[in-house]
């Protein structure tokens, strides 16, 4: 985040964010009540969680045989869709 203040012409109207992950200054994951946690021992790397995530906060990891995805907790809203669609129940929603 720059220390230079934006002019009124540069500020997004009414805080509207038109594309996912386009506003890195507004971390939207801080208000969630549940946090998804991946059990990588159960994960089959099917990427269904990545496909269904409505906010692209599940990020694909390449070059790591242990992990196919990670969850960007800065932007995850805690909706739980990833945990619901996981066929092997490798994602658990925890309080906090």
pLDDT digits (tens, 9 = 90+) for 25-34: 677 788 889 9
CA distance 34 to 92: 10
Residue at 84 is within a domain: yes
Is residue 88 situated within a structural domain?
A: yes
Q: What is the mean pLDDT of residues 22-51?
A: 88
Give the pair of three-digit tokens for residue 62: 């390449």
**Which phi-psi region, left, alpha or beta, contains residue 22 (left: φ > 0; alpha: ψ -120 to 50)?**
alpha
CATH number for position 80: 3.30.70.20
Q: Report which of residues 10 and 88 the model is more confident about.
A: 88
In a domain, 8, yes or no: no
Whether 17 is covered by a domain: the verdict is no
What total number of domains does the chain contain?
A: 1
Instruction: Report yes or no on 53 lying in a domain.
Output: yes
Domain region containing 49: 23-95
Classify residue 30: in a domain, yes or no. yes
Q: Report yes or no on whether pTM surpasses 0.85.
A: no
Domain membership flag for residue 4: no
The rounded distance, in Å, linking the Cα atoms of 79 and 92 is: 12
Please write the tens of the pLDDT for every residue from 57-83: 999 999 998 999 999 999 899 999 999
pLDDT confidence of residue 2: 56
12 falls within a domain: no
């Amino acid at each position: 985040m720059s220390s230079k203040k934006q002019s009124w012409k540069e500020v997004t109207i009414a805080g509207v964010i038109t594309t996912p992950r386009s506003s890195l200054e507004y971390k939207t994951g801080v208000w969630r009540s549940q946090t998804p946690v991946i059990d990588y021992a159960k994960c089959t790397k099917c990427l269904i969680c990545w496909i269904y995530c409505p906010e692209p906060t599940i990020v694909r990891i390449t070059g790591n045989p242990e992990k196919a995805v990670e969850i960007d907790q800065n932007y995850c809203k805690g909706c739980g869709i990833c945990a619901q669609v996981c066929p092997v129940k490798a994602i658990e929603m925890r309080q906090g």
